Each structure stands twice: as C-alpha cells, then as structure tokens.
Structure 1
Amino acid sequence: MKEDFLHYLWKFKKFDNLNLKTVQGEVITILKSGDYLELAGPDFFNAYIEIGNQKWAGNVEIHLKSSDWYLHNHEKDPAYKNVILHVVWENDTAVFRENNTEIPVLVLKDYVSKEIIENYNTLVAPKTWISCERQLKDIDGFVFKNWQERLFFERLERKSKFIYQLLEETNQDWEAVLFCLLAKNFGLNTNGNSFLQISKAIPFAIIRKESFEVENLEALLFGTSNLLNAEKEDVYYKDLKFRYFYLLHKYQIEKTYTEPLQFFKLRPDNFPTIRLSQLAALYHRHQNLFSKIIDLKSVDTVHSLLTVSASLYWQNHYKFDKESPKKSKTLSKSFIDLLLLNTIVPLQFAYSNIMGESIAEDLIDFMNEVTSEKNAIIDKFNSFGIKSKTAFDSQALLELKNEYCERKACLKCAIGLELLKNN
C-alpha cells in the first residue's frame, strides 16, 4: 500500500462516502474533498467537510498511519495548522493540535471495497517491464490518444526548462540559445555535455563575426575542445592551430578546458571531429539561423536547411594526421530527424510560449511527418501491441516509460486510472 493510492481514493471518492464516521464516532459528510495541488504542505487544500453538526473549511492530510504525522514533524510546521481531517489507512495514535484538541481521524480502509484494493494490487504488482503491459492494448482508443497528447507536451515542457535556463545565461539571445542546443545535440549522448561546454565557452558574437570563414569556425570549435594541443605535421592541423591562437588574441578570449571528447565505441561518422566540422559548416552556410528555424513548417524544409557536409579535409579523414578512404560526410536524414526532435520542435515550443502563441496543432502535425524513433523502449511497446508509427507516437511513449512507468506513477497516469476504473 502506498500513500498515492490513498490520494487517488480521496480525490475520486472511491469509497463508501455515505456512511463515514471519525474514529471518535462523529458522522462525516464530504461537501468538497479539496484541491490536490501536490505542493508543499497538506495533501488537499480548501476542503469543505461537515463533522458531527459542525461545518469546517480547511485542509486534509493523508497518511498510511496516523503516527506519520509526528514522523514527518507536522506538529512543528505552521502549514498544517488548518488541517480539519486526518485521513489514514491505519489509526495507531491520536494526533493533537497546538491547543491540545484532537484532530478528527477517518480510517479509510473501513470504507474501501476489497475489489478496488485487489484491482490496485494487480495494477502495481511487479511485472517483467511495466505494470500494465498485459492490459495496454485493451485501453480505450480515445483515452489513449488524449493521454498521448498530454505526454507529448509534458515532454516538451520538460525540455523547455533547459531552454529557459540558456535564455537567462545568454541574456535572452535566441541565436545563442540555438547554437548551444545544436552543439549539445550534435554531440549526441556521448559528447553532448562536452559540446555544450564548447558552445558556452565561445561568445556567440564571435561565431557571428567569423561565420564567413568556415576554417575560422572549425579553429574555434576544435581549439576550444582541446583537439589542437598537440604538435602534428598535418598542414590543415597547423593552419587551424594558427587560426585558433590568432582568434584568441584578436578577441581576448581566455583558453578554456572542457571535458575530453570521446571517440571510443562511436561509429566513425559520429566522431566529434566530424560533428564539429558539420556544425561549423552549418553556421558558415546560414546566418540568422534562428529566424529560419523558427519558421520551419515541414520536414522537407528542415532537411533542406540542415543538410550540410563536413569540410573538404574531413572527406578523407576522421582524425587529424590519419588519412582514410574518401567519403562525403553529409548529415544523414536520421541525424537531422534527431535534431528536429531534440532542438527544433522544443525551441519552437518554448519560443511560442514566450511569445504567448499557441502552435500545439502545428507541432503535432510536424511530428507526425517524422518516422518513429527505433530503440529498445519503442520495440518493447510494439511487442505489447502499442504500435509507434511516427515521432509523435514514440516521443509520447518515451515520456510514458521514463516519467510514469519507471517511477511507478500508475495513479498519475491516465492509463493506470482507466485500468483501475475498468477493473
């Protein structure tokens, strides 16, 4: 038994609420169960309850055991002074206010049917992957679709927090924010944090000024990433190193030290050298990139805008001083789709929120143009009959798994609530 189950019971009145009595024997009539705000303080605010012949307005606190009141030190917290009813599963001690009057207690287990307890235990019982895996495909399509949309936008809201943080750090410079986001996502999971540090270490005003020479952009990116610290005979390497130290002097930039870049276990096309060169190529090709990205409305326009290649040197290199067979290092369709998911759509969402505009339907349409991601989580959902055809589907399922299933938050999940109700 968990406390969130008691919250669910109280919020939705899933108990015999017509014959309630306190442990002191007074009749309870719930006129309003209160607002479940999930904030610090009592569990339900602004409840309206009749106890005996007295009507009370105040808050309701819920615990598994009444002694939890003292375990959590509520008696010392002024936020709990207005608690009018203590709802518990087990009453193992009396709880008193500051003036020594006893807080009325309702023992909820005396009014909950065995069926709903069995349904709850079935829902949260340990399973091989997620609690409702055998019942997922039976969920009403309307319920699932609505929940899918909610999950999608919850995911965007979480990603937006990082964007708002970058806005503060860059003095509300959206172009600089975009540069940081793109850098992080060009680095993927392995080098994302290192690429982010690199992007933050170079004032974006300098990227703007030097974008007309791709070699200068590469010099800044490679130098800041500490890839130009060695002594090599490679002519291109020497040129970048010269440019880097010239630019340090020109702009009076202090040399920074970022996390070491990782090459191990990466496919050569994902080597940080290739991704940094492609990032430089993107900013060499496009000035005012933010204004172009914020206006993108279709996947085709995204691919047209972001299809760039690493510079000529990297056509036959993956690392400095080591020649390889010639190959065009152009951003792939699948990589651009990742940038769309993790940079473009979150940025458009955050920007529209700041501007007070609603583009929810546009974003859903946008994501439905992109093929579903393929990973272990999506494959597992597919095996349970939940098919993911588009990126809208897969983004919602990732949010469901990571933010609800992994946290065992079945009673905050529309699927869990629907299964509990249907059972």
Structure 2
Amino acid sequence: MKEDFLHYVWRFRKFDHLDLQTSSNESVSVIHPGEYLQLAGPDFFNAQLVIGTQKWAGNIEIHIKSSDWYLHQHEKDPAYENVILHVVWEHDAEIFRSDNTTIPVLEIKRYISKETLSNYKSLMSPKSWIYCERQLTSIDFFTLGNWLERLFFERLENKSHTIISLLQQKENDWEAVLFCLMAKNFGLNTNGEAFLKIALRIPFSIIRKENFESLNMEALLFGQSGLLDVEKEDQYFKQLRKQFDYLSYKYQLEKAAVEPLQFFKHRPDNFPTIRLSQLASLYSGKQNLFSEIINGDAAGKLYEILKVPASSYWQTHYQFDRESPKKAKSVSVAFADLIIINTILPIRFAFAKSLGKEISEDSMDLLKQIPAEKNAVIEKFSKFGIKANNAFESQALLQLKSAYCNHGKCLDCAIGNLLLKS
C-alpha cells in the first residue's frame, strides 16, 4: 500500500462515504475533501467536514499508519496544528495536538471497495518497463489524445523554465538566450552542457560584432571549447588559435576550465568539431536570427534557416590534422528536426508567453509536420501498443515516461486513473 493511492482515494472520494466513522465512533460527513496542492505541510488544504455534530474547516493529513505522524515528526511542525482529520490505512496510535486534544482518525481501508483495491493491485503489478504496459491497448483514443496534449504542454512549460532562467542571466536579451539554447542542442545529449558553457562564456555582444566573419566565429567557439589548447601542425588550427588569441586580448575574454568534449560513440557527422563549425556557420552574417526563428511559421522555412554547412576546412576533416574524403556536412533534416523540437519551439512558446500571447495550436501544428523522434522510449511505447505518428506525440510520450512512469506516478496520470476505474 502506498500513500499516493490513499491520496487518490480521498481526492476523488473513491470510498463509501455515507457511513463514515472515526476510530472513536463519531460520524464523519465530507462536505469538501480539500485542495490537493502537493505543497509542504498537510496533504489537503481547506477541507470541510462534519464530525459528530460539529462542522470543521481545516486540513487533512494522510498516512499508511497513524504512527507515521510521529515518524515524520509532524508533532514538531506548527503547519500541522490545523489538521482536523487524520486519514490512515491502519490506525495503530492516538495522535495529539500541542494542546493535548486528540486528532480524529479515519481508518479508510474499511470503506474502500474490493473492486477499487483489485484494480489498484492490477495496475501496480510487477512490470518489465512501466506498470500499465499490458493494459495500454485498452485506452480509448479520446482519453489518450487529451492526455497527450496536456503532456505536450507540460513538457513545453518545463522547458520554458530553463529559458526564463537564461533570460534573467542574459538581461532579457532573447537573441543571447537563443544562442545559448542553440549551442546546447547542437551539442546533443553528450556535449550539450559543455556547448552551453562555451556559449555562456562568450558575451553575445561579441557575437554581434564578430559574426560578419565566419573565421572569427569558429575561433571564438573552438577557443572557448578547449580544442585549441594543444599543439598541432595543422595550418587551419594555427590560424584559428592565432585569431582566438587576438579576440581574447581584444575583448578581455576570461579563460575558464573546460570539460573535455566527447567524440567517443558519436558518428563522425556528430563530432563536436563538426557541430561547432555548423553553429558558427548558422550565426555567420546573421544579426537577427531570433526574429527569423520567431516569424518562421512553417517547418519548411525553419529547415531553410537551419540548413547550414560546416566551413570549407571541415569538408575534408572531422578532426584537426586528420584529412578525410570530401563531404559537405550540412545540417541534415533529421538534425534540424531536433533543433526545432528542443530549441525553436520552446523559445517561441516562452517568448509568446512573456507577451501574453496564445500559440498552443501553432505549436501543435508545427510539430505535427515533423516525424516522431526515434529513440528507445518511443520504440518501447510502440511495442506496447502506442505508436507516435509525429513529433507532437513523441514529445508527449517522452514527458509521460520521464515525469510519470519513471516515478510510479500512475495515480496522477490520466491512463492510470482510467485503468483504476475500469
């Protein structure tokens, strides 16, 4: 038995509430179960009850055992002084307020139906991946569609928090925030944090001044990445380092310790050298990339903006000092999809939100034009009966797995709720 099940039972009144009695045989009538805010303090706020003949307004605390009150040291916390009912699965100890009055206890297991308990045990049965994996195909289209839409916007909201934090660091400069997010996502999962640190170490005012020259852009990015902190015979390497030394002196750039960029397990086209060069190319000669991104409504327009090549040196190299067969190495459509999903859509959403504008439909429509992501999570959902048809659906499923399934929050999930009622 878990507390979240008891929270669910109390919140949605999934118990026989007609003949409730406390452990001291006083009748209980639930006028309002309270607000489930999931904040510090009692589990439900501002409940309204009638206990015996007395009407009460206050908070509800829920535990598996009554004695958990003392285990969690609630008797020392003033926030629990206003608890009017202690709802428990098993009553094993009397609980007292600081004035020595007894807190009424409701042992709720006597009022939960066998059917509800059976459904709960079935939902929380042993799993190979997620709890409801064997029952996913029974979920109706309407419930699933509404839940995926909510998950999608929940994911966007979460991403917007990072953007707002960056916006504060960058003094409300949306162009600077876009540069940081672009850098992070050009680095992918492996090098994303390192790329973000590179971007944060370069004031965007310098990017604005130097992006007319692609060599300067590459010198800044490669120099701050630590890739120029070695000795090599390669002439382009020497040119980049000379230019970076000049720019560092010109702008008094701080040289901070950097984490090594990862090449291992990457396909050559995803090497950090190639991605840094493409990022430099994306910003070379562009003064208003943010405006282009915000106003590029269709996916086709965004692909056009993002389809940039690595510089000429990297057409014949993946690493310094190692020549390779010539290849253009432009940003692929698949990589552009990742940038649209993880950078462009979140920043457009956050920007619209800052202006008080509603772009929900536009956001969904954009991602419905983009194929679903291919990864282990999406493949697993497909195996168990839920196939993502586009990026809108794959993003929602990723949110479902990371925010709900991974934490066993089945009772906060629309799918889990439906299965519990079945």
TM-score for both structures, normalised by structure 2 = 0.99
Structure 1: where are the runs of 5+ without partners? none
Partner SS, residue 181 of structure 2: helix
Tell whether the 8 Å contact from 2:213 to 2:285 is kept in structure 1 after alignment: no
Partner SS, residue 84 of structure 2: strand
Determine if the alignment matches structure 1 residue 24 to structure 2 residue 24. Answer: yes
Let me know the Cα RMSD of the aligned residues. Answer: 0.9
Q: How does 1:312-351 map to 2 (within 5 A)?
A: 312-351=312-351
Aligned to 1:212: 212
Aligned to 2:284: 284
Distance in 2 between residues matched to 1:133 and 1:285, nearest whole Å: 50
Q: How does 1:232-247 map to 2 (within 5 A)?
A: 232-247=232-247
Kindly tell me the number of residue pairs found equivalent between the two proteins.
422
Tell whether the 8 Å contact from 1:225 to 1:257 is kept in structure 2 after alignment: no
Aligned to 2:159: 159
Q: Percent identity?
A: 61
Distance in 2 between residues matched to 1:170 and 1:328, nearest whole Å: 34
Deviation at 1:133, TM superposition (A): 1.2
Q: Aligned partner of 1:292: which letter?
A: E
Partner SS, residue 287 of structure 1: coil
Q: How does 1:301-320 map to 2 (within 5 A)?
A: 301-320=301-320
Partner SS, residue 302 of structure 1: helix
Q: Aligned partner of 1:418: which letter?
A: L
Tell whether the 8 Å contact from 2:87 to 2:105 is kept in structure 1 after alignment: yes
Q: Aligned partner of 1:153: which letter?
A: F
Aligned to 2:108: 108
Cα-to-partner distance string for 1:184-228 (whole Å, 9 max, x where unaligned) = 100111111111110011111001100000000101111111111
Aligned to 1:95: 95
Partner SS, residue 373 of structure 1: coil
Aligned to 1:258: 258
Deviation at 1:342, TM superposition (A): 0.4
Q: More displaced, 221-230 or 85-94?
A: 221-230
Q: Aligned partner of 1:408: which letter?
A: G
Aligned to 1:419: 419
Distance in 1 between residues matched to 2:115 and 2:228, nearest whole Å: 68
Distance in 1 between residues matched to 2:67 and 2:257, nearest whole Å: 53
Aligned to 2:196: 196
Cα-to-partner distance string for 1:71-125 (whole Å, 9 max, x where unaligned) = 1111111111111111000000000111111111100001111111111011011
Partner SS, residue 48 of structure 1: strand
Tell whether the 8 Å contact from 1:152 to 1:399 is kept in structure 2 after alignment: yes
Tell whether the 8 Å contact from 1:58 to 1:84 is kept in structure 2 after alignment: yes
Runs of 4+ in 1 over 6 A off after TM superposition: none
Distance in 2 between residues matched to 1:67 and 1:348, nearest whole Å: 50
Tell whether the 8 Å contact from 2:49 to 2:55 is kept in structure 1 after alignment: yes
Distance in 1 between residues matched to 2:262 and 2:141, nearest whole Å: 44
Distance in 1 between residues matched to 2:17 and 2:255, nearest whole Å: 69
Q: Aligned partner of 2:374: which letter?
A: K
Q: How does 1:2-401 map to 2 (within 5 A)?
A: 2-401=2-401
Cα-to-partner distance string for 1:240-276 (whole Å, 9 max, x where unaligned) = 1111000011111122221111111211111111111
Tell whether the 8 Å contact from 1:198 to 1:224 is kept in structure 2 after alignment: yes
Distance in 2 between residues matched to 1:22 and 1:250, nearest whole Å: 76
Partner SS, residue 128 of structure 1: coil
Q: Aligned partner of 1:313: which letter?
A: Y
Structure 2: where are the runs of 5+ without partners? none
